[in-house]
Amino acid sequence: MIKIQVLFLLIILSTETCHSLIPIERNAQSSVLVDIRLFILGGRSYKPTLSLDQILYLDVSKPFNTANPPFEVLNVSIPFGSSFATAFLSPQKDVIYLFGGTTRDVNTNVFNNIKSVLYSFNLETNEWTIPTTNGIAPENRRLINGVINNENGKFYVFGGSNDYFAGANYGRALNDMNIFDTISLTWSKGTIENAPLPRISYTATLLSNGIIVYIGGTEIYLNKSRSFDINQLSLYDTKVDLWSSMRARGAILENRYSHSAVLTSDERIIIFGGSRNEKPVLNQLAVLNTKVVPYEWSIPTPAPPLPLTTHLHSATLVGNYMFINFGMVYPKNDSLIQKPFFYILDVRNFAWVEQYEPTIVASTYSPDNAKKINIILGIVVGFSVVSIAGYLGYKYSKKQKVLAPALAFFVVHKTVLPAREEVEYYLAYEFDKVTYMLAYIHWTADVREYSAGFISFQKFGAREFIDAFAIDHCVGFFQIKTTYYVIDKDVDYTDDE
């Protein structure tokens, strides 16, 4: 008989350290989605003309209209003005890394005079630091797009350009692959064999099979530039450190640079915007199907009205929606027409959305509250209280026949294996009357051994949702974002009914 116990702890703090604002226009910013918050870091503004050190965030668990998105501004700034950089989130979701870009000293207005190519922002302490890394760190570069592989904890960034203010139009272009291991904090290089020519202003998208797809951009050779053929895809296999290329079939697209790309749950790459020869592209949307070989382009036809085609914007997939933020329109030297653009595309039917209705569950996490508490310490100290409260809560909710709020709930299954006094705990995600196993903790009593790990969970991405731990040879807990599900081998989870 499967015996079910739901034990959880919600830690909620509500300290206001941010304020709402109407953001100024900007372009060339970086963006990162952390749980329910979309962070916008830096950017370049013409009002005044400078690189911004501001950090904005938007709560995407609440509805809003794109005409007035409820941005907040953190009271913690980037240590310098930042634009044309790339940002990524650690697999543990507690650190935002900011790599490269054009930088500006906010005190002296001096450009590109920073101490490190990599900075980290701790979401628990709200502090910026320079990580102490191993290996040889790459030189600074801009006009780049990096990706983080949560499977191995490694960040990959290709190419870019440096020495922007040294007199050349594009600086010295690069075509090296730099890899940063977020676990060991070690820099290394990928192979240069069969690597593309130096390139900037491209998009990089990591597929579930470990292949990074590079689309478009500007190719630079002997200080001369040309738009890279968008149908000629550059592929980098992160599993075997191998470059290859593929000629995409399907619709004929204009070449472009400074566009954006997101990956949908069914492995489609959707690109938006960009420019070519200092003009907006005609087909602002295109879709690359990576489930066929060769990959295939198609051009969706969303219903009007269509938004202005921007470039140097950022794009993020939030549930079934592609958020397209800020950017520039032509003529770019006309500061009066530059606005804080905000578009939302429903990727299911390619409809432009003005009123956003969230499809994700709100979380208790807040970057401004995180420094107030050590979550792990609270779990250990309050374990006994949590166990009792959770057990009683489960009995009450079962009696009332009410499930946990929101679209789904999590349960812990305990199975006793009498042959070796083994106990297995499985964390399951129950949704639409279907149970999906996420992780396990296995306890062997006679030899006092335990193990913990993940179960493959492609539908929702287990590694993005949970961590599993076993501690003190008797207790374990699963973590899903900021909710902890605690189990104890000495607790009787038997259902009385």
> What does 205-260 look like in DSSP terms, one character per residue?
EE-TTSEEEEE--EEEETTEEEE--TTEEEEEETTTTEEEEEE-EES-----BS-E
Over residues 27-36, the pLDDT tens digits come to 999 999 999 9
- Sequence-distant (6+) residues with CB within 8 A of 28 are 43, 44, 83, 84, 102, 312
Instruction: With cut-offs at 50, 70 and 90, classify the pLDDT of residue 183.
Output: very high
Distances (CA, A) of 243 to 91, 101, 146, 368: 25, 25, 16, 42
Q: Say if residue 48 is preceded by a cis peptide, omega within 30 of 0.
A: yes
Instruction: With cut-offs at 50, 70 and 90, classify the pLDDT of residue 438.
Output: low
Q: Tell me how far apart the alpha carbons of residues 475 and 490 are, in angstroms, rounded to a whole number.
A: 9
pLDDT the model gives residue 393: 44
Over residues 102-161, the pLDDT tens digits come to 999 888 888 888 889 999 999 999 999 999 999 999 999 999 999 999 999 999 999 999
pLDDT the model gives residue 111: 84
The owner of tokens 């030297």 is: 333
Residue 317 near residue 347, CB atoms below 8 Å: yes
The least confident of 51-60, 287-296, 386-395, 409-418 is 386-395
Between 422 and 354, the higher pLDDT residue: 354
pLDDT the model gives residue 454: 45
pLDDT the model gives residue 359: 80
Sequence-ordered alpha helix ranges (H) in 288-382? 375-381
The least confident of 168-172, 180-184, 331-335, 438-442 is 438-442
Q: Is residue 458 classed exposed, middle or buried when 0-12, 13-18 and 19+ CB atoms within 10 A define those classes?
A: exposed
Whether the pLDDT of residue 402 is over 70: the answer is no
Residue 43 near residue 29, CB atoms below 8 Å: yes
pLDDT the model gives residue 213: 99
SS3 for 364-394, per residue?
CCCCCCHHHCCHHHHHHHCHHHHHHHHHHHH
The least confident of 228-237, 298-307, 309-318 is 298-307
pLDDT the model gives residue 334: 65
Q: What is the DSSP string of 54-109?
A: -EEEEETTS-EETTS---EEES---SSEEES-EEEE-TTSSEEEEE--EEE-TTT-
Question: What is the rounded average pLDDT of the residues 73-96?
Answer: 96
Over residues 255-305, the pLDDT tens digits come to 999 999 999 999 999 999 999 988 999 999 999 999 999 999 999 999 888
Q: Tell me how far apart the alpha carbons of residues 215 and 233 are, in angstroms, rounded to a whole number.
A: 6
Average pLDDT of the chain is: 77
The helix (run of H) or strand (run of E) holding residue 465 is helix 462-465
- Sequence-distant (6+) residues with CB within 8 A of 175 are 158, 159, 192, 195, 196, 197, 198, 199
Question: What is the rounded average pLDDT of the residues 216-239?
Answer: 91
Question: What pTM was estimated for this model as a whole?
Answer: 0.70
Phi-psi region of 111 (alpha: psi -120 to 50; beta: other; left: phi over 0): beta
Q: Nearest Cα to 455, choosing from 442, 446, 444, 473?
A: 442
Strand partners, 269: 263, 288
pLDDT the model gives residue 424: 57
Between 188 and 464, the higher pLDDT residue: 188
Kindly report the number of other CB atoms within 10 A of residue 312's CB atom. 26
Q: Tell me how far apart the alpha carbons of residues 406 and 305 are, in angstroms, rounded to a whole number.
A: 34
Q: Tell me how far apart the alpha carbons of residues 163 and 151 are, in angstroms, rounded to a whole number.
A: 34
Domains and their CATH numbers in the chain: 3-10+368-488 (no CATH), 18-356 (2.120.10.80)
pLDDT the model gives residue 194: 96
b/e code 330-364 from CB counts within 10 Å (16+ = b) = eeeeeeeebebbbbbbebeeeebeeebebeeeebe
Question: What is the rounded average pLDDT of the residues 337-364?
Answer: 84
b/e code 408-441 from CB counts within 10 Å (16+ = b) = eebbbbbeeeeeeebbebbbbbeeeeeebebbbb
| 3-class SS of residue 398 | helix
The least confident of 133-147, 172-186, 443-457 is 443-457
Max avg pLDDT among 50-54, 67-71, 291-295? 291-295
Q: Is residue 217 classed exposed, middle or buried when 0-12, 13-18 and 19+ CB atoms within 10 A define those classes?
A: buried
Whether the pLDDT of residue 381 is over 60: the answer is no
Whether the pLDDT of residue 493 is over 90: the answer is no
Whether the pLDDT of residue 73 is over 70: the answer is yes
Q: Tell me how far apart the alpha carbons of residues 108 and 85 are, in angstroms, rounded to a whole number.
A: 20
pLDDT the model gives residue 464: 34
Q: Nearest Cα to 10, choosing from 482, 487, 411?
A: 482
Kindly state the tokens that stand for 194: 């069969």
Kindly state the tokens that stand for 220: 């630079």
pLDDT the model gives residue 422: 57
Instruction: With cut-offs at 50, 70 and 90, classify the pLDDT of residue 169.
Output: low
